[in-house]
Amino acid sequence: MKVAFKIWLDHNGKAFGDGPYELLKRVEKTNSLNEAAHQMGMSYSKAWKLIQTLEKRLGFPLLDRKVGGVSGGGSEVTSEAVELMKRYDRFEKDVGEAIEKLYQRHFSNL
């Protein structure tokens, strides 16, 4: 037996969680929302709508769209998104450790 969990930030609906974290991490690496979405088996339009929804709920931008230029455009994560990912990652790890400890305390002999 083990314990499993899911956490997310909420503000009038899901504002951030594992899925968005993974999507943004991939944008950070590829500088392309299209490529990041593709890697996760998500359509570009679905990923784009998701980002729009999250930005509205969070109250700050997650992506900077670069239009045209030598590299032909692409997306960059904003500094706010980088900060959010950093915090979320630490938060998620701390939550995992806390839950594991509490599970041992309450269910040590299950």
- What are the residues binding a copy of itself (CB under 8 A)? 1-11, 15, 58, 84, 87-88, 90-91, 94-95, 98-99, 102-103, 105-107, 110
Strand partners for 64: 76
Helix, coil or strand: residue 79: helix
List phi, psi (to 5°) of 32. Answer: -150, 120
Q: Of 66 and 100, which has the nearer Cβ to a copy of itself?
A: 100
Are 95 and 7 within 8 A, CB to CB?
yes
Please, are residues 62 and 81 in contact by the beta-carbon 8 Å criterion?
yes
Answer whether 54's CB lies under 8 Å from 16's CB: yes
Taking the complex as a whole, the smallest distance from the CB of residue 9 to a copy of itself amounts, in Å, to 6
- Least Cβ distance, residue 71 to a copy of itself (angstroms): 32
Least Å distance between CB 63 and a copy of itself? 18
Of 64 and 100, CB closest to a copy of itself: 100
Residue 27 or 85: the one with the smaller Cβ distance to a copy of itself is 85
